[in-house]
Amino acid sequence: MTTEPSRVSLIVPAYNEQEAILPVIDEYYPYVDEIIVVDDGSSDETYMRAQSRADEKVKVYKHVQNQGKVGALRTGVSHASGNIIVFTDADCTYPASYVPEMVQILEEHKADLVLGARLHDRSNIPLFNRIGNTIFSSLAGYISGKMIQDAQTGYRAMFKDMMPMLDVAARSLEFETKMTVRAAKLGYTIVEIPIVYRERVGVSKLHPIRDGIRMFRGLISIAWNETSPLGKMILGPSIVLVIIGLLFGSYSLYERLTTYDLTNAYFPLIATFSILLGMQMFSIGLVIDYLSKKLDRIEEKVMALGNKRE
Ligand SMILES: Nc1nc2c(ncn2[C@@H]2O[C@H](COP(=O)(O)OP(=O)(O)OP(=O)(O)O)[C@@H](O)[C@H]2O)c(=O)[nH]1
Ligand SMILES: [Mg+2]
């Protein structure tokens, strides 16, 4: 893709992170070519403290009003001059020492998206978040058909020109999960490198329930939006069939348990038939969706090769 020498821009969204922002800047300083801190309308000293480190390498921007993490990341990317961008949190959780490995993987074109997967020292992720992380990563893996161990990590690297393809509609912390699933569904290569996750400095901005619900809704919407039209034509009716089967089935079961009788002897039959047919169609839909995505990717690659030759 790119032959120019790499220039690495680090994007650091920061919302009320006065305790952690300077250690984060200092830790990443030797590893990157540019650090872009985006203060997201903090009410503490985050901006002032970050500004005290501003130089030709460290650039600090400010949102007058809080826009959420995604807004801060987008502002950061829009100011980035590097061809490679790395996202990290402003809370000292992600060690900077993994940047060279992430960059190398991108430069060698072994991945389109590199994730710092929090697989070591998971005790530093609060228990509730750890459970959520496991559930959402498995769901993300299932939806995208790829094995993903940490879909939510905020530590990630990509070529800047990938950003339009991987930017997803999101307001908050569901952004990362949606981006990972989108990348996987579109057939981009994701490489996860296991990282140590340190204990957070300062107060967490994560609301497990609110952000969990958003993440779940985000996954459902991305699962549907990124499904090919042909896949949707088969998956849509198959889901309806399973729901119809479940309704007939539960009605019959309820009747059998309460009145010890069945008003309609065909209901259990309809239930079994609908569920089985629905599940068969669902599997076919998944296979068709996978194949059409693969064909799209091959077409994209052939077109890119053709453009290069011209
Ligand atoms: N949640 C949140 N984070 C923001 C916002 N704006 C910027 N951020 C930054 O986004 C990063 C992610 O927030 P965290 O609180 O670390 O969320 P997390 O990493 O999922 O949870 P922890 O494990 O507690 O760190 C931090 O660097 C925040 O300072 C915002 O409006 N809301
Ligand atoms: Mg964090």
Q: Residue 195 in contact with residue 119, Cβ under 8 Å?
A: yes
Q: Is residue 1 one of the residues assigned to a domain?
A: no
Out of 54-68, 121-135, 191-205, least confident range: 121-135
Q: Is residue 2 one of the residues assigned to a domain?
A: no
What is the mean predicted confidence (pLDDT) over 196-206? 89
Q: Are residues 194 and 98 in the same domain?
A: yes
| pLDDT in the model for residue 142 | 73
Beta-strand pair 34-40/58-63: parallel
Token code pair at residue 198: 């340190």
Q: Which of 223, 212, 210, 214 is nearest to 180 (CA)?
A: 223
- Dihedral Cα 219, 221, 227, 228, nearest 10 deg: -160
Q: Are residues 126 and 149 in the same domain?
A: yes
What CATH number does the domain containing 76 carry?
3.90.550.10
Q: Are residues 275 and 195 in the same domain?
A: no
- The pick from 10, 11, 12, 15 for probing ligand 1's pocket by mutation, whose C-beta has the most ligand atoms within 8 angstroms, reads 15
Q: Is residue 3 one of the residues assigned to a domain?
A: no
What is the mean predicted confidence (pLDDT) over 232-260? 93
Q: Is residue 209 one of the residues assigned to a domain?
A: yes
Q: What element of type H or E holds 105? A: helix 99-107
Q: Which ligand is nearest to the CA of 24?
A: 1
Token code pair at residue 16: 């009320």
Q: Which ligand is nearest to the CA of 174?
A: 1
Atom of ligand 1 nearest to the CA of 88: 27
| pLDDT in the model for residue 298 | 79
Instruction: Kindly state if the Cβ of 124 falls inside 6 Å of ligand 1.
Output: no
Q: Considering its fold, how many domains does the chain have in total?
A: 2
Q: Is residue 42 one of the residues assigned to a domain?
A: yes
Q: Are residues 212 and 108 in the same domain?
A: yes
Reply yes or no on whether the pLDDT at 41 is more than 80: yes
> Cβ neighbours of residue 243 under 8 Å, at least 6 residues apart?
278
Q: Are residues 209 and 114 in the same domain?
A: yes
> b/e map of 182-208 (b: 16 or more CB within 10 Å)?
bbbbbbbebbbbebbbeebbbeebbeb
For residue 198, what are the CA distances in angstroms to 36, 55, 118, 242, 265? Answer: 22, 27, 9, 44, 60
Q: Is residue 186 one of the residues assigned to a domain?
A: yes
- The residue contributing the CA closest to ligand 1 atom 5 is 69
Domain boundary, last residue among 169, 197, 225: 225
Q: Is residue 243 one of the residues assigned to a domain?
A: yes
Q: Are residues 33 and 153 in the same domain?
A: yes
The type of residue at 82 is G
Domain boundary, last residue among 188, 203, 225: 225
- The residue contributing the CA closest to ligand 1 atom 4 is 69
Q: Are residues 205 and 233 in the same domain?
A: no
Reply yes or no on whether the pLDDT at 1 is more than 70: no
User: Would you place residue 308 in the very low, low, confident or very high pLDDT band (cuts 50, 70, 90)?
Assistant: low
Reply yes or no on whether the pLDDT at 6 is more than 90: yes
Q: Which residue has the higher pLDDT, 183 or 55?
A: 55
Instruction: Kindly state if the Cβ of 87 falls inside 6 Å of ligand 1.
Output: no
User: Would you place residue 259 in the very low, low, confident or very high pLDDT band (cuts 50, 70, 90)?
Assistant: confident
Q: Which residue has the higher pLDDT, 56 or 231?
A: 56
Residue 187 exposure: Cα atoms within 13 Å on the Cβ side: 15
Percentage above 70 pLDDT, the chain: 97
| pLDDT in the model for residue 213 | 87
What is the mean predicted confidence (pLDDT) over 177-204? 90
For residue 124, what are the CA distances in angstroms to 6, 72, 212? Answer: 33, 25, 19
Reply yes or no on whether the pLDDT at 63 is more than 80: yes
Atom of ligand 1 nearest to the CA of 67: 31
Q: Are residues 237 and 181 in the same domain?
A: no
Q: Are residues 166 and 192 in the same domain?
A: yes
Domain boundary, last residue among 196, 225, 254: 225
Q: Are residues 156 and 14 in the same domain?
A: yes
| 149 C-beta neighbours (distance < 10 Å), count | 17
Q: Is residue 247 one of the residues assigned to a domain?
A: yes
User: Would you place residue 310 in the very low, low, confident or very high pLDDT band (cuts 50, 70, 90)?
Assistant: low
Instruction: Kindly state if the Cβ of 204 falls inside 6 Å of ligand 1.
Output: yes
Q: Which ligand is nearest to the CA of 16?
A: 1
Q: Are residues 266 and 210 in the same domain?
A: no
**Residue 236, domain extent:** 229-309
Q: Which residues lie across from 196 on neighbouring strands? A: 120
What is the mean predicted confidence (pLDDT) over 153-172? 90
Token code pair at residue 258: 């309460």
**DSSP secondary structure code for residue 171 in this structure:** S
CA–CA dist 84, 105 (Å, integer)? 11
User: Would you place residue 104 in the very low, low, confident or very high pLDDT band (cuts 50, 70, 90)?
Assistant: very high
- The residue contributing the CA closest to ligand 1 atom 23 is 125
Q: Are residues 144 and 121 in the same domain?
A: yes
